[in-house]
Structure 1
Amino acid sequence: MTSRSRGWVVGRIAGAPVLVTPSWFLGAVVLTLVFAPSVRTWFAPQLGTTAVLVVAAAFVLLLFGSVFLHEVAHALVARTRGHRVTEIALTLWGGHTAYTGSGGRPLDGALVAVVGPLTNLVLAAAFWVVYLLQPVSSVVTALLLAGAFSNAFVGLFNLVPGLPLDGGQILESAVWGATGSRTRGTLAAGWVGRVVAVGVLVVALLWPLLEGRRPSWVTVAWAALIGAFLWSGAGDAIKGARTRARVATLSARGLAVPAVVLPVAATVAGVSEAAARQPGAVVAVVGPAGEPVGWVDPTAVANVPAGQAAATPVEAVVVPFPPGSAVSPELEGDDLLDRLARGSSGARVVPVVDAGRLTGVLDVARVAAALRR
């Protein structure tokens, strides 16, 4: 189950909640203060301090509004491609859209990714046209011009082919489609994303030097912050790809422990005999129709006095299987993990049933250990 971001729900789009996270307010305040000096430079001495802050805040809201439309575009296309959108969140970095079912088709990932930057480029063109139509210069024309350039920058920068940018998702889908391996696509786009992260900082440092100027500490600080965000996102993508590769190797058949079956009418005395028939196997108990009942706890068996074993029903030492927790030996990868997450009900051990017959048990801890390896 996908965890939801913390924040306040302000509406719903594409069937998903729209969340404003606490970090969004921090981002809005910080950006307003950052842009205020530029606004004062453009309009001084005509505007006072309050007016400068109001104009800077208006630009920040305009910018965040453009990012919001970017995320809405992601959500709407994801919905039309048959995916379930789980949230649209406005965050410190602008926002993100989460949706499920993205692992099956490379084209879906490319289409969902590309529509966001294209939305910003369309907005940039619209702001530019309206700006050109203004008869005189004013605060409004300055905001229109800023809206055009900011949307153009957001759109073009997001098309850079490195994760976690939208262009990285497009690259991931392209490599995935060409090779048939999503993992290869993610790894390729993730490493390109790391190159982009370093490149942002390098450009911020070298560009002024090439022009004979000293780098601005503000520009370098912003570049370092953006580079760190990109590096972290790319690293998470690479780590996720490697985890996905490990998940693909998991199978219920390969991880299951063989089971020796006893009927529910048996006694504890029969447990040792059953275990001796197949060393290393787990003793499991089935009902009259062969349905899985539970597995025998060796510690509980050891606590039954030898003289009472023949009179003690096996049910007394059984750990029940949760209803509906049985898995097929054919389950693999994500399907196996999804089945365990939905059906194990927190149980440590679940039955493996093949063609109606209990053939083994699956220890959830063993699956987790295999995933870590």
Structure 2
Amino acid sequence: MSTSPPAPAGSVRLGRVATVPVYLDRTWLILAVLVAFQGYRAGSVNGPTYGVAYAAWLVVSILVAVLGHEVGHALSARRLGFHVHQVVATVWGGHTSYDATGATPGRTAVVALAGPFVNAVLAAVGLGVGWSQDGDVGQFAWSFGLLNALLAVFNLLPGLPLDGGAALQSLVWAVTGRRDLGLLVAGWIGRLVAVGIVVWFLVLPLLRGDTPQLFDLLIGLVMAWVLWSGATAGLHRAEVERLFDTVRVGDAAAAVTVLPPETPLAVAREHPAYVLVADDTGRPTLLLRRVPLDAPATTPVGALVERLPDANVLEAEPGDELGRPLRAMAESGVEVVVLTRGGAPWGLLVPAGIDAAAGRTRRRT
């Protein structure tokens, strides 16, 4: 069973959308202040009252745009059968947390593109009202539509961590059958997008002989840093995905033996494999490890074992991928997984065995 991550510290819960909790992170206030500042600076040319109203409108607009974008991701993910944990609006915009177990190139692309699609719809509504209405109503609607249009276009740029990058990654994955290659391509293009933002906000103004505005320069550098960091994370994730594609459960599994609980410790120590003991229900969830150095040799192993979570006992074959066992470790916080076939244990997964298998794979490739 999937477990939902806790609510972000200091966040405010705004409600639920299709059972998915929606949070406003406290860091979003930083974004709100920046947007309000820019809105007042632009609107105050028509007077201070107009400037305040325009600033407030832009803050509401950016919140609606960001939450609409993330809810688009969340609803499409739920529609495709993924378990969605939460939606959070942050200083960087927002993010949607969901369990991507069973992801395919097509499903990943649909979830990625759903966010910009919502912004495109909101942009069409805003711009349509803006064209049809005069005065302040038309101006405010126009700004709402333009904001959503910019957000949609920006997110469609083909580099991670943007949605367009996720779509590109899915395309490469579908064509080549390699998820890691898709992440590599989209990650490197994401880095190029980050460099392009620096060029746009800093280099081009200097080439024109202009002095970049300090505020615009800071915004550009922060955006570039966020994109570079996200693209780099994608490149690191590519290495992990490559290991998932090449390392199988059997490559990393250690041998295991099941002993009766009354077996003396001295006898158990003669076994080179990990030692398991079945619990009262017959499940092999009791593991012998971290034995005290002063434990008498006659101590029954049943008195020295640790109970593993039921979720860390998995039916698996040697040829299976590592995804399910790794998720079990992550969700339970216990880095041991018992591998069974028909209920009978045949192996044990621990981080050391996974690292060793990954190292052998790297040396081969």
- Sort the TM-score into its range (normalised by shorter chain): 0.7 to 0.9
TM-score (norm 2): 0.83
**1:179 corresponding residue in structure 2:** 176
**Is 1:240 paired with 2:240?**
no
How many residues of Structure 1 are paired with residues of Structure 2 in the alignment? 352
2: distance between equivalents of 1:209 and 1:297? 64
SS in 1 for 2:133: coil
TM-score (norm 1): 0.81
**What is the aligned counterpart of 2:25 among 21, 24, 28?**
21
**What is the aligned counterpart of 2:154 among 157, 167, 170?**
157
Aligned counterparts, 1:58-137, within 5 A: 58-101=57-100, 103-135=102-134
Amino acid at match of 1:66: A
Q: CA 1:39–1:327 in 2, change beyond 3 Å: closer, same or farther?
A: same
**Is 1:11 paired with 2:22?**
no
Kept after mapping to 2: 8 A contact 1:102/1:108: no
**2:325 corresponding residue in structure 1:** 336
Amino acid at match of 2:352: R
Alignment RMSD: 3.2
Q: CA 1:202–1:371 in 2, change beyond 3 Å: closer, same or farther?
A: farther
**What is the aligned counterpart of 1:204 among 181, 188, 201?**
201
1:192-218: CA deviation from partner (whole Å, max 9, x where unpaired): 011000101102234334545333333
Deviation at 1:21, TM superposition (A): 0.8
**2:55 corresponding residue in structure 1:** 56
1:316-369: CA deviation from partner (whole Å, max 9, x where unpaired): 5x4245374444562531112134446xx666755444455444544x342464
**2:227 corresponding residue in structure 1:** 230
2: distance between equivalents of 1:57 and 1:27? 13
2: distance between equivalents of 1:165 and 1:183? 17
1:224-250: CA deviation from partner (whole Å, max 9, x where unpaired): 111111111111222222223334455
Moved more, 82-91 or 97-106: 97-106
**Is 1:39 paired with 2:43?**
yes
Deviation at 1:107, TM superposition (A): 0.8
Moved more, 207-216 or 280-289: 280-289
Structure number with larger C-alpha Rg = 1
1: distance between equivalents of 2:65 and 2:335? 48
**What is the aligned counterpart of 1:304 among 296, 299, 305?**
296
In structure 1, the gaps of 5 or more residues are none
1: distance between equivalents of 2:282 and 2:122? 64
Moved more, 248-257 or 57-66: 248-257
2: distance between equivalents of 1:323 and 1:128? 55
**What is the aligned counterpart of 1:190 among 184, 187, 192?**
187
1: distance between equivalents of 2:301 and 2:40? 77
Deviation at 1:35, TM superposition (A): 2.5
Identity of aligned residues (%): 34
